[in-house]
């Protein structure tokens, strides 16, 4: 009996930071310093759990937590400083374990896949380069005018560009924000521990499965109903 390929999963939508590239810790420290310069002092672990949400939300929440408000001008300054500090701290983003090989294999096997990230195009360029993607790779970023995570917009746009219905896609992400945005987009989510969240945090948020890193995900890809 042949397997009906139509019944299998068809596409993967990847988050970028902490999912494909090892940048979450650098972002957490850069945000901490950028926010300190505008008078908002926050423990790194608090910022760690905010990486992946829109930068504006991250700043607002960090300010509110210490009973402060940031003006639009200060937010803009902190956003710019974060980008500067991050580029200095992580000049060459490192692909996470197994990420490059996984993307190569997906391309080779013609499994539809794309990247959807809250980051702006110019700031994600070094990470995209490190992943050695083809020129035709589908990348939806925060410059698209769509609302960043935890809004579902970026994932929905990526899913539409991949030409797959939401029930045939998985979102792969390292943060609860990815899982929240995926669920709002009616797409199943897979968690990776490579961004530093605990396994239970991701399962409790609603991840269908949680793997250690891209390498472990790829090893189990048949169990996800993806025909390699």
Q: Site residues (CB under 8 A) for a copy of itself?
A: 18, 22, 24-26, 28-29, 41, 43-45, 48, 89, 94, 96-97, 193-201, 204, 213
Strands 188-192 and 169-173: parallel
Longest dimension (CA), the chain: 66
Is the Cβ of residue 20 or residue 185 nearer to a copy of itself in the bound state?
A: 20
CB of 52: closest distance to a copy of itself in angstroms? 14
CB of 60: closest distance to a copy of itself in angstroms? 19
CB of 194: closest distance to a copy of itself in angstroms? 5
Is the Cβ of residue 84 or residue 199 nearer to a copy of itself in the bound state?
A: 199
Is the Cβ of residue 25 or residue 208 nearer to a copy of itself in the bound state?
A: 25
CB of 175: closest distance to a copy of itself in angstroms? 12
Task: For the beta carbon of residue 56, count every other beta carbon within 10 angstroms.
Answer: 15
Is the Cβ of residue 41 or residue 167 nearer to a copy of itself in the bound state?
A: 41
């Amino acid at each position: 009996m042949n397997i009906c390929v139509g019944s299998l999963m068809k596409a993967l939508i990847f988050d970028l930071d902490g999912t494909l590239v090892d940048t979450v810790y650098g972002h957490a420290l850069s945000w901490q310093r950028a926010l300190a310069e505008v008078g908002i002092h926050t423990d790194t672990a608090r910022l760690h759990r905010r990486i992946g949400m829109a930068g504006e939300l991250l700043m607002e929440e960090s300010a509110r937590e210490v009973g402060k408000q940031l003006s639009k001008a200060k937010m803009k300054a902190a956003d710019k400083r974060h980008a500067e500090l991050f580029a200095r701290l992580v000049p060459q983003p490192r692909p996470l374990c197994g990420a490059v090989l996984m993307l190569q294999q997906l391309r080779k096997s013609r499994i539809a896949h794309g990247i959807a990230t809250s980051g702006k195009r110019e700031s994600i360029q070094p990470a995209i380069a490190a992943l050695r993607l083809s020129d035709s790779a589908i990348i939806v970023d925060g410059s698209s005018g769509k609302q960043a995570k935890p809004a579902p917009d970026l994932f929905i746009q990526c899913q539409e560009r991949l030409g797959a219905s939401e029930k045939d896609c998985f979102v792969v992400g390292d943060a609860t924000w990815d899982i929240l945005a995926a669920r709002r987009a009616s797409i199943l989510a897979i968690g990776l521990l490579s961004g530093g969240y605990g396994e239970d945090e991701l399962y409790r948020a609603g991840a269908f499965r949680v793997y250690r890193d891209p390498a472990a995900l790829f090893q189990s890809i048949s169990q996800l109903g993806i025909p390699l």
